[in-house]
Structure 1
Amino acid sequence: MKRWIRRIAIALLVLFLAGWAALYFWAREPYRPVVHIPASGRVLLTGATVVDPATGAKTPGSFILMQGGRIVSVGTADPAAGDAAVQRIDLAGRFVTPGFNDMHAHPLGDADPSGTLGLMLANGVTGFRQMHGSDAMLQQRAESRLPTGQLAPRALILPGGLLTPLNASTPERGIEAVRHQKERGADFIKIGLVSKPVLYAVLPEARRLGLPVAGHVPQGVDIVDAARRGMHAIEHLGPGGAALVACSTRQAELRRELDAIPVMKGPPFTIPYSDKLADALLHRLIINPAAATTPADTRRRAIMIASFDEARCRRMARALRDAGNWQVPTLIRRKTTEQADRPEFARDPALRYLPPATLQLWKDVTAEFVEKVPADARALMRREYDLDLRLVKLFDEEGVPMLTGSDESGAWAVAGFSLHAEFDELAKAGLAPLRILRMTTSDAARFLGRTATMGRVAPGADADLVVLDGDPTADVRNLHRIAGVVRAGFWHDRAALDRLLARIEAGKGYLK
């Protein structure tokens, strides 16, 4: 009898908390007005060298005519000679590429993302792949109420709520979550923290409904098996060392141990606003998951490092390539979490664009990381990162499709600037400047199936462009030399971008 009374009490408590969560998050859901970007007028970029990221071809002395947010024509002859109504921008000596895309970003999770989105645009980011969503966010998009106006990049695709034990505790509930998100208009399913059986149930159901699946490989799951079963994109090289486990000569031992780790349990029913609740519960962990490193994690990390085998890595890379899997390494995210105590992160000039509360939280979580994770464990993380760089180079050599993403939701990763830091980390891994440019432009378009309108400077494409002061195919540092940005056909020169940054700094992280 006491056991049943306890169970009933627990059930009532859970129901109470679920009701409280629904009321709390409903009340906090911000109202967003309809966002309308006006049609741009006729703008002509003259004298620039147009770069084709897909081939590396460069066409000097080009004229790019834009109108209504689209590119109308591209050529070496002036298409608007004598037309006084055209706004002419002289770009002689400069290089034009398609706009940059941050293919792993979370800006729309903030109550006021104006500063985050402005920082992205000021750094040449004209599009982003939103990596967590909600029913409310999908509804806002359907009603044109996403806060992505003229001073923000385009939200390219959105998922529904992150799949976690709160909404996908069992295979059956995982399938229900996929169907629900399909009904709400999600573009893909984002795997967060689920069990192996849930992942294996979600993948075929998502495929049946035409929804790609991306995100984290659950602990104990073979990364190649996940790809072969239909996981379209894998973020952070796993995470949790999933890719490096596959490179280990002790892979079977490591996988057995990971399989034995208990998975987080969830309620047997759906909690309203579970996506918001997950964000609230996991907020500090998301800022730096490395702060939760255990001695067992450190021991497994030491095994992975000691048993790394390049031949196994290459076989894994070829298998991922053949399965059509995309990798989004987010190297800078891995570096800023697992090496959060590096002094240069705390001295980054870009920190002045953050809200003071955000910066203080990052400092607090970093202090926890240093306090809780022993020095020898942190040293192993740095050695693991060296293998991450090596792994990305192997992916490059074996033809694994990859995308640039910064995951600016974590400590020391300032939106916009973090994508440029990712460029630099990819270069450290040994990737050529053209490959890095391609990963953030034409490969992003190919991943999304939008090669007619994205990732190229050509008639019919979106008028989302970056103008650079140096050849981006010659040196990765030239990707940082932004002279101007075109977003939806509107021209923002360097002075305008600097004014945008100044507004965000004056607004303490927000556009005021």
Structure 2
Amino acid sequence: MMKAWEWMLAGVLLSLGWDASAATERSAVLILGKAAGYQQVEYLPEGQVKVHFEYNDRGRGPVLDRTYTVNANGTVAASEGQGVDYLKASVQERYTVQGTSHTWKNAAEEGQRDLKGPAFYLSLHGVPEETVLLVRAALKAPGQRLTLLPSGEVQVQAIGTHTVQGTAGKRKVRLYAMTGIDLVPAYVWLDEDQRFFASGSSWNLLVREGFENTRDQLLTLQEAEEGRLAQARAKQLTTKLDRPLAITHARVFDPGTLAVEEDQTVLVEQGRITAVGPSAKLPVPKGARTLEAQGRFLMPGLWDMHAHINRGADGPLAIAAGITTVRDLANDEQALTSLITGIETGRDIGPRVIKAGFMDGRSPYSGPTKVFVDDEAEARAAIDHYAANGFEQIKVYSSTKPELVPVIARLAHAKGLRVSGHVPAFMTARQFIEAGADELQHINFLALNFLFDRVQDTRTPARFIAVGENAASLELGSPAVRDFVTLLRERNVVVDPTVSIFDDMFHNHPGHWNEGASTVLARVPPTWQRWLRSGAGGLPDVPKRPELYRDSFLRLVEFVGLLHRSGVRIVAGTDNVSGLFLPRELELYVAAGIPPKEVLRIATLGNAEVMKRDKTFGRVLPGYTADLILIEGDPTLLMSDVRKVRHVVRGDRLYESAALFRSMGITP
């Protein structure tokens, strides 16, 4: 006979959809389909859940242990976690609830909130299984809505049920959408017992062990739902320019001359600029749609030259921010092709995408790619494939053999492709350029050129830490630096500095966030605000030596200014969420001493010149593609005004920036 407490425990387990006979579950982390880590979940008596989660991404990646105590209604009564985050900073976190009092503490937060009714605390450094607990709890709540702690609300909706066949057998799985924890719905797959089955994207997927072969099927089904939402959003927020458009009474900035012309009218037809002239002299064609600028600032659309664009929020965010072209420097080829097709056919909203083919050598620290090259035959096959499939550039990565770089450069140049990338480990930036590279990604690799005696294996976060610890003492006026900069200029090497990512890396620490995050903090939803305020993304030693890391960051900014003044071409890219952080990249160029008008030229016509599109993109002239943005204010005087985009013309499509931002829960 079962005792009373045993009956009660059984009731709790059944209410949570658990089968006590299956006490342990493991799921595999797949980065572009390659095993990179795992999650292990143990179900213990008295409603406890014990989770271990870890993965390795080029020497980075979290290692987390969490324990949850779960109530009968699915909410969490207590949780505790420890380990390290993605950049190996220490994690200690605790949450408890007593009656209506919820308290939590982690490295960045210490809070308390009194709340009646069910609520769910989202860990600052949670594990995937926490999403399962959240879904279960929300499904039991009224309207499937649940208050989140510290703030926010989530709503969960079941999308559809499917049967998948894995090597471990057949399972019936259901897709759930969670609205309120990200800019667009987030998804998780659960099995018939409401156990974790899969979550993620084509880039990074966690899936139940024994069912790794269902990856493509799950992603296809999930992307169909994402595509349905994207198409509905595009239909609602895109104005198709099926007749001429007249933008009247605008202040027009042309990056080709750096001049701002007052009170201009720009005519657009079939996606191209047909006329530009004084509003008093240039008549508006009969039947044309009119956009009254009222003296606002009109300029070409911005470019982000270092993007990794994904399905969901990235495309609409870019357009909302006035970014009409991005260069994607590493992605899953199939997913990227599908996304581009959706955008170009009008089923999604997003910028034009220039594709770069990504490759790396095989090592324990290989980059996230399916394309590995360790000899000339593999390099030739990869380059031939990329050239035949619309890629315009080759990006090599840190595990590429140094002796293979000149071979890659020769093969790529023979196909008309540019060569860029990380400087491979055990190679200096000078050697990379002399081997034939046309471009360098990330300003830290330029600094590492002068730190080769301290760090040579740059496949791990050492490539960040060494720069943070030593860049402050780099003498930019030294003969060695001057000689290197001269080499860059004489070889017409392009630098893609992405200096804004070091704003995070060299400044953030628990409870302290950098100035760049402050510019978007109040605009984003509560979960994003919390993440930005947490100071996540900083290197582990920043709290110990914040002044040193700050000074190293400032030296990197100065290096960007030196490059520009020395005649080295730079391109503007973020390696981040384009629609939120490109303005910060441009502000840092101004901080480096580059005049605002020249910064705007870099971010438009200059980028187009590098990609050989300057005859059709990047200017406000008849015959040019009508990628245009209308701004409140004047970024030639105050670069922060570039955030105040009001309307975007992307060829034959017109968008209202505020409506796009609001569709993702962001204040314009």
Q: Could you say whether these structures have the same fold, taking a TM-score greater than 0.5 normalized by the shorter chain as the test?
A: yes
Kindly indicate whether residue 559 of structure 2 is the aligned counterpart of residue 387 of structure 1. Answer: no
Maintained 8 Å contact 1:94/1:470: yes
Equivalent residue for 1:215? Answer: 421
Offset at 1:374? 6.0
TM-aligned CA deviation for residue 437 of structure 1: 0.3
Aligned to 1:454: 617
Q: SS at the partner of 2:447?
A: helix
Task: Confirm or deny: 8 A CA contact 1:153 1:487 kept in the other structure.
Answer: no
Partners of 2:332 and 2:591 in 1: CA distance? 36
Aligned: 1:59 with 2:257 = no
1:203 deviation in Å? 1.7
* 2:377 is the alignment partner of 1:177: no
Larger relative CO (CA 8 A, sep 6+): 1 or 2? 1
Mapped contact 1:124–1:482 kept (Cα < 8 A)? yes
Q: Deviations over 1:374-411 (max 9, x none)?
A: 63455433221111011011011101111111111xxx
Q: Which runs of 5+ in 2 are unaligned?
A: 1-33, 36-166, 168-206
Structure 1 residues 92 and 384: CA distance shift in structure 2, 3 A: same
1:306 paired with 2:473, answer yes
Question: Displacement of 1:303 after TM fit?
Answer: 4.7
Displacement of 1:207 in angstroms is: 1.3
Q: Are residue 434 (structure 1) and residue 604 (structure 2) matched?
A: no
1:197 and 2:403 aligned:
yes
Indicate conservation of the 8 Å contact 1:104/1:328, yes or no.
yes
Find the counterpart in structure 1 of residue 490 from structure 2: 322
Q: Distance in 2 between matches of 1:374 and 1:82?
A: 58
Higher percent of residues as strand: 2
Matches within 5 A, 1:24-423: 24-25=215-216, 27-29=218-220, 30-31=223-224, 40-76=242-278, 81=283, 83-108=285-310, 112-113=311-312, 115-137=313-335, 139-140=337-338, 144-146=341-343, 149=346, 152-165=349-362, 167-168=371-372, 170-172=374-376, 173-195=378-400, 196-237=402-443, 241-246=444-449, 251=450, 254-256=451-453, 258-259=455-456, 261=457, 292=461, 298=465, 302-311=469-478, 312-341=480-509, 342-344=512-514, 349-350=520-521, 353=524, 356=527, 369=538, 372-373=540-541, 375-376=543-544, 378-408=546-576, 414-423=577-586
> Per the alignment, do residues 338 and 26 of structure 1 end up closer, same or farther by CA in structure 2, a change over 3 Å counting?
farther
Query: Is the CA contact 1:98–1:441 (under 8 Å) kept in the aligned structure 2?
Result: yes
Instruction: Please report how far the alpha carbon of residue 150 of structure 1 lies from its aligned counterpart in structure 2 after TM superposition.
Output: 8.0
C-alpha RMSD of the superposition = 3.6
Question: Given residue 394 of structure 2, which amino acid in structure 1 is its aligned partner?
Answer: I
Q: Residue 162 of structure 1: CA displacement?
A: 4.5
Question: Closer, same or farther in 2 for the Cα pair 1:469/1:151, shift >3 Å?
Answer: farther
Query: Is residue 2:639 matched to residue 1:497?
Result: no
CA distance in structure 2 between the aligned counterparts of 1:299 and 1:429, rounded to whole angstroms: 22
Distance 2:399 2:421 in 1: 11
> Residues 219, 397 of structure 1: CA spacing in aligned structure 2 closer, same or farther, 3 A cutoff?
same
- The verdict on how the C-alpha distance between 1:137 and 1:232 changes in structure 2, with shifts beyond 3 A counting, is farther
Instruction: Give CA-to-partner distance per residue, 1:9-29, whole Å, 9 cap, x none.
Output: xxxx99x99x97665246424
The answer to which of 328-337 and 155-164 deviates more is 155-164
CA drift at 1:212: 1.1
Deviation at 1:299, TM superposition (A): 6.1
The answer (yes or no) to whether the contact 2:574–2:582 under 8 Å persists in 1 is: yes
Contact 2:455 2:462 in 1 (8 A): no
Change (3 A) 1:42 1:201: same
The amino acid across from 1:90 in the alignment is E
TM-score norm. by structure 1 comes to 0.75
1:343 partner amino acid: W
Task: Give the counterpart letter for 2:322 in structure 1.
Answer: G
Partners of 1:168 and 1:194 within 8 A in 2: no
Gaps in structure 1 of 5+ consecutive residues: 1-12, 265-288, 409-413
Aligned position for 1:5:
none
Contact 1:298 1:380 in 2 (8 A): no
Per the TM alignment, residue 138 of structure 1 is displaced from its structure 2 partner at its CA by 5.6
CA distance in 2, matches of 1:313, 1:148: 48
Residues 53, 455 of structure 1: 8 Å contact kept: yes
Tell me the matched-pair count: 439
Taking structure 1 as reference, are residues 462 and 153 closer, same or farther at Cα in structure 2, changes over 3 Å only?
farther
In the alignment, which residue of structure 2 is the partner of 1:481?
A: 644
3-state DSSP of counterpart to 2:267: strand
Letter in 2 for 1:168: F
Contact 1:163–1:174, Cα closer than 8 Å, also in 2: no
Conserved 8 A contact 2:249-2:279: no
Q: Give the letter for the 1:160 counterpart.
A: G
2:325 match: secondary structure: strand
**8 Å contact from structure 2 (residues 303, 323) kept in 1:** yes
Q: Describe the SS at the equivalent of 1:65.
A: strand
Q: Deviations over 1:169-215 (max 9, x none)?
A: 51333443223322333221122332323433322221122211222
Structure of higher CA gyration radius: 2
Partner residue in 2 for 1:286: none
Say whether the 8 Å CA contact 2:409–2:435 is kept in structure 1. yes
Percent identity reads 22
- CA shift, 1:429, in A, is 1.2
